[in-house]
A and B are shown apart, each in its own frame.
Chain A
Amino acid sequence: MSDKNTAAFFRAEGVLISRGVVHAATWMAAQRAGLRERAIRFGQAALAAPVFGLLGQNDRSLGSRVAHLAYRDMTEDRIHVLAEEYVDDMLEDKVLDSGVELLKKARAAGHRVVVLSEGISEIMERAVERYFRGVDHMVCNRLEYKGHKATGKLIDPVIGGYEGGRWVQAYAAEHDIDLARSVAYAGHGPDLLLLSAVGQPCVVNPDFTLRKAAREADWPVVDYSA
């Protein structure tokens, strides 16, 4: 057996929490200063929902980019403060206990726990700190700021596309991780490469594309809603 470490990769959306970036972005847009701004940015964030509906099973990065346009011109201060409020008030009921159990088991099994998320760092880092103890590494999207204000753009690489698969290979090499003995939990079509990269993939609450792929690859599929 190899002396290398093993890791458990968790996709946050759908595995650990039941809400995605559209929910976060619309909520944040609705908290902007000024009623006009709130209405415009809320509409902008909501536009991401049909984009995810149409393309989300193949590539989620476009949906993420559209949703995060709602952050444009929002100050870093506001985003940080609202992110805290969002995590404390809005995500509390959206944490999936079954996902938390999977995370605990992975930890107990001695895996290095890595969480990947489409959400922004301001929200996800606090969410992980608050609800998911024992996470060793967190990878999420980062907003671009200029002059203390968000530009509405995400810094590349945008998490949510097929990058996850490439990223996991690089991560394993950097941290001396044996992917053949590692596990991954994910539920979206674009996570296919991530799941294929590890020896023990597990499909959680999958969308249509991933369910079909899992059936073909004979991967275990787990469904839970709480």
Chain B
Amino acid sequence: MGAISIRETYEGRHIVLVGGSGFVGKVCLAMILQRIPDVGRVYVLLRGHGRSAVERFEKIVNEGHVFAPMHEEYGAGFSDFLARRVEVVEGDVSKPDLGLDPEVATRLREKVELVINFAGLVDFNPDLRDALDTNVLGGVHVADFVESCRGARLVHVSTCYVAGQRDGFIPERIQPLTPSGDEMDPKTELATLHQLIADTEAENASPEVDTQLHRDVIKRLQARGVEPSDRRIRDMVSRLKRKRLREVMAQAGTDRAKELGFPNTYTYTKSLAEYLLRDRPGLRFTSFRPAIVESSVEFPFPGWNEGFNTTGPLVYLAKTWFRHIPAMPGNPLDVIPVDMVCKMLIIAGAALLRGENAQVYQCGSSDRNVMPIDRLTELSALGHRQWLREHGENALHKTVLARWDALAADPDHVLNLGNIRRVLNQFARYLKHGLPEKIPSELQESASRLAKETDNTTRRLRQIEDVLELFQPFTHDHYCVFECRAIMRHPVKEPEFRFEPESIEWRSYWLDVHMPGLRRWCFPTYENKERELYEPAIPVVLRSAEAEAHKEAG
């Protein structure tokens, strides 16, 4: 097999990007637009979220830094550039036929040759109903649509972590058994999931739950000294019921996932979608599994990142006084820069268009350029040291916190977060109730202030503890190396599309690219600060699809 020319393969081919508003989707869209000038029309399927899909797309393009280089390159002509190449279509993967307008659906069925489905709920422990809608049924609906097209093929974006709680070398194939070793009939499992949701809803609506919630509400109102009126009780019970339903749904999903050997609902539902697609012989598809997607190396610019990603909280934690990151030294943490993911995805798409594709492509670094988690922890500590030396808030931060190295440690280490939180809790309790009564009022005030601060700290620690618990399967419990060889069957002609994880020099990537990227784009989110928005000199205004179609017809 000779080298593939990406530009020639995509020339004139019409593509649908489903869920292109996420981190990977946006970078991929920008890369296709910038680096494949002769691609056919790119249809971006978006939900409106309270506005039209076109307006939402305009907001994404105008506020997202990922499109900044294109704004700068095309200036006033960027709207025209986009209008010529992109059509935004309103839809919803959780609905049959992707919730498309019938006329649009018919048009797409005729034209489209490649569908890339990025849609996914990446929350690890979401409400099971949401996970089912987006991760499972969304995948099925996209596959239905692709099968109904004249000649379309599907790149289904999944995750390497569908491997679940397995150890060792994870091959690039859809495993015949679940991680717990059971066979999975995906249709039966889907039915089980529907039943589980119905049972959970029924349980939440049961008179027992109602009575219990009533009692709780009355108790709460009495404790607050409020007269419990019927209407108030009804409102509160109904609110608590909805909240409880979300919680029990999340728990039900987690329990089922763990039963089958998955660490969370996300990986379980993504895996189920893969099984369902595998069992459709008429579907021409490939499953594309990125590992932990992080800051870009070079596209759209070095260090681009956004949102609440995987390594962000761990790196953020290494900056605090808490030192012991629960991680198993030597375990790989499979980090892969987002632009490398997009390059590989575009190659996989080209291979699929040419009919030369593999069933599964895993996109990670652990197989070809491993990064152990203890190295990541140390690099994070060193990166913070460099930064705090210059930007530390005070002398304590510059001299002590900068040298307060984070370490990869056992989750049961005596100084783990849980123990620290418990000690702080006891301290706060002592400050509130344990001090002698006859102490000066100034001292009492200081103690109550300190108790309040300690309470706030323990609350924050609790949140961090929850995040660490979610990540522990990946950072501590399992040693996974994800095979990443299938893509090597497709050498490409254009150097800017080559997928070469071996070229990542981890130290300079982590210290000079990734950490500055996290500091700028992600840490503000963790600190509840305003996200930095891009402000183009000339914002994009897309002409409507109808006007564009009219122009084309003319």
**Which residue numbers of A lie inside 8 Å of B, CB to CB?**
31, 33-34, 75-78, 80-82, 84-85, 148
Contact = CB atoms under 8 A, between A and B. Distances in A.
Given A77-B507, A80-B507, A81-B511, A33 B389 contact: no
A118 B336 CA distance: 39
Given A33-B405, A33-B407, A77-B375, 18 more contacts: A33-B378, A33-B381, A34-B405, A34-B407, A75-B375, A77-B378, A77-B379, A77-B382, A77-B507, A78-B378, A81-B382, A81-B385, A81-B386, A81-B511, A84-B386, A85-B385, A85-B389, A148-B375
Contacts of B405: 33-34
6 contacts: A31-B403, A33-B378, A33-B407, A78-B378, A82-B382, A84-B386
Given A85-B389, A148-B375, A78 B407 contact: no
Interface of B: 375, 378-379, 381-382, 385-386, 389, 403, 405, 407, 507, 511
Contacts of A84: 386
A134 to B, nearest CB: 26
Nearest to A84: B386
A165 to B, nearest CB: 37
Contacts of B386: 81, 84-85
B524 to A, nearest CB: 25
A68 to B, nearest CB: 20
B386 to A, nearest CB: 7
Nearest to B404: A33
A54 B144 CA distance: 83
Contacts of A85: 385-386, 389
Nearest to A37: B405
Most chain B CB inside 10 Å of its own CB: which residue of A77, A78, A80: A77
A75 B386 CA distance: 16
A49 B531 CA distance: 53
Contacts of B403: 31
A34 B407 CA distance: 9
Nearest to B381: A33
The 3 A-B residue pairs with the shortest CB-CB distance, nearest first, are A33-B405, A81-B382, A77-B507
Given A80-B507, A81-B386, A85-B389, A75 B407 contact: no
A148 B381 CA distance: 17
Contacts of A80: 507
Determine chain B's interface SS by DSSP, over half rule.
helix
Contacts of A34: 405, 407
Contacts of B382: 77-78, 81-82
Contacts of B389: 85
B392 to A, nearest CB: 14
Nearest to A33: B405
A130 B218 CA distance: 72
A156 B403 CA distance: 33
Nearest to B383: A81
A33 B378 CA distance: 9
Nearest to A88: B389
A33 B511 CA distance: 18
B84 to A, nearest CB: 47
A81 B375 CA distance: 13
A76 B382 CA distance: 12
A78 B379 CA distance: 8
A76 B511 CA distance: 14
A151 to B, nearest CB: 17
Contacts of B385: 81, 85
A34 B385 CA distance: 15
A77 B405 CA distance: 13
Contacts of B375: 75, 77, 148
A82 B507 CA distance: 13
A221 B375 CA distance: 49
Most chain A CB inside 10 Å of its own CB: which residue of B378, B382, B507: B382
A84 B378 CA distance: 16
Contacts of A148: 375
B212 to A, nearest CB: 50
A33 B386 CA distance: 15
Most chain B CB inside 10 Å of its own CB: which residue of A31, A33, A85: A33
A78 B377 CA distance: 11
A204 to B, nearest CB: 33
Contacts of B381: 33
A58 to B, nearest CB: 38
A77 B511 CA distance: 10
Contacts of A77: 375, 378-379, 382, 507
A78 B375 CA distance: 10
Contacts of B507: 76-77, 80
A82 B378 CA distance: 12
B278 to A, nearest CB: 39
Contacts of A31: 403
A80 B511 CA distance: 11
Contacts of A82: 382
B297 to A, nearest CB: 18
Most chain B CB inside 10 Å of its own CB: which residue of A80, A81, A85, A148: A81
A148 B511 CA distance: 17
B419 to A, nearest CB: 19
A82 B386 CA distance: 9
A146 to B, nearest CB: 15
Nearest to A89: B389
Nearest to A80: B507
A75 B382 CA distance: 11
A91 to B, nearest CB: 15
B475 to A, nearest CB: 18
A76 B386 CA distance: 16
Nearest to B389: A85
A98 to B, nearest CB: 30
Contacts of A33: 378, 381, 405, 407
A1 B302 CA distance: 55
A78 B374 CA distance: 12
Nearest to A32: B405
A201 to B, nearest CB: 41
A54 B540 CA distance: 75
A100 B153 CA distance: 67
A127 B381 CA distance: 24
B497 to A, nearest CB: 30
Contacts of A75: 375, 378
A75 B379 CA distance: 10
Nearest to B385: A81
B474 to A, nearest CB: 21
Nearest to A76: B507
A35 to B, nearest CB: 10
B404 to A, nearest CB: 10
A31 B385 CA distance: 11
B369 to A, nearest CB: 13
A42 to B, nearest CB: 14
